[in-house]
Amino acid sequence: MISELKTLVAVSRFGTFSAAGDRIGLTQAAVSGQIKRLEDHIGVALFARTGRSAVMNAEGLRVLEQAKAIISMFEALTRAGEGDLVGSLKIGTIASVQSTLLARALVSFRSRFARHHLHIAPGISLNLFDQVDAGELDLAVVIKPSHGVPKELSWTPLVQEPYELAIRAELDSRDWMSILRQQPFIRYERTSFGGRQVDRFLKSQSLAVQDSMELDDLQAILALVGKGLGVAILPITESNMPLPLGVQTIPLGDHRLIREIGIVSKMQTDEAINTLKLCLVEACR
């Protein structure tokens, strides 16, 4: 029944049988068949079926929480058979902290959990939040969303990073608004939390920019700025310092635009996870 339980969790996460099937490599009919076998096995209906739609009912929500716990225990049993590995952690992280903050934290973590296996999964904050919520990651280092953190998840703040305007080094002007209006604009990808912050800021200032490119790689954006292909509003991160040759940044006037980086995880008391959180906090000092 483990496969059926995992399919139930996938349907809950992705919303429909079809979407769940796309993500786990099954047809919609196969997903429906697994859910039907699960319902027959436990003797209750898990979805309220109306026409072609299926919405998880109260019994389904109760079973869902039990399914997540059973899957977690099954995976723990699997890890127990892996020889001398004491345990494992699945860590999500945005790109800008992998080689700096996370690397320092892992040095300290290894001194206490030398035999833990670590799987590090890069991604954008939006996806990493979903993976933590679904139990696919134990924790993730992400950008805090503007709408806040869901109450069922734990948030540990780490660092705040200010946004500035990245321009070519030879530009003498400090008038950031004029530069934005006159130069091609390289956007920080709007599917990311950081890119959405920039987009909201531009709209709040009624700034019409000359959109030129859009991508979610801060170092690549800085390189494009250095080649004279445009200007960009970016967070000033440890991983991007020192700035590439030919690039300078200027403040956004009196505006305080920042992004908060922190740790998102489930509410739990796992010793290894709590130790890694502490190591991440210490790595910011």
Same domain, residue pair 69 and 108:
no
In this structure, are 164 and 253 located in the same domain? yes
User: Which residue range is the domain that position 265 belongs to?
Assistant: 88-158+260-283
Other CB atoms within a 10 A radius of the CB of residue 245 amount to 7
Report pLDDT for 144. Answer: 93
> In this structure, are 173 and 189 located in the same domain?
yes
| pLDDT at res. 231 | 97
* 55 token code pair: 């919405």
Per-residue pLDDT at 192 exceeds 80: yes
51-109 residue pLDDT tens: 666 788 999 898 988 888 888 777 766 555 544 446 889 999 998 898 899 999 999 99
Tokens of 190: 């709007």
Domain boundary among 31, 51, 80: 80
- DSSP letter for each residue of 216-257: S-HHHHHHHHHTTS-BEEEE--GGG-SPPTTEEEE--TT---
Q: What CATH number is given to the structural domain containing 38? A: 1.10.10.10
User: What average pLDDT does range 177-183 have in this prediction?
Assistant: 95
Whether residues 167 and 246 share a domain: the answer is yes
- Round to the nearest angstrom and report the end-to-end CA distance of the chain: 47
Q: Do 169 and 249 belong together in one domain?
A: yes
Answer yes or no: do 17 and 101 share one domain: no
Q: Please report the pLDDT score of residue 252 as a whole number.
A: 94
Cα–Cα distance for residue pair 271/86, rounded to 1 Å: 12
Does residue 117 share a domain with residue 62? no
Sequence letter at residue 231: V
Is 56 in the same domain as 37?
Answer: yes
CATH number, domain of 98, equals: 3.40.190.10
pLDDT the model gives residue 52: 63
Q: How many domains does the chain have?
A: 3
The answer on 247 and 167 residing in a single domain is yes
Provide the pLDDT confidence category of residue 126 given band limits of 50, 70 and 90.
Answer: confident
Q: What percent of the chain has pLDDT over 70?
A: 94
d(CA 142, CA 155): 10
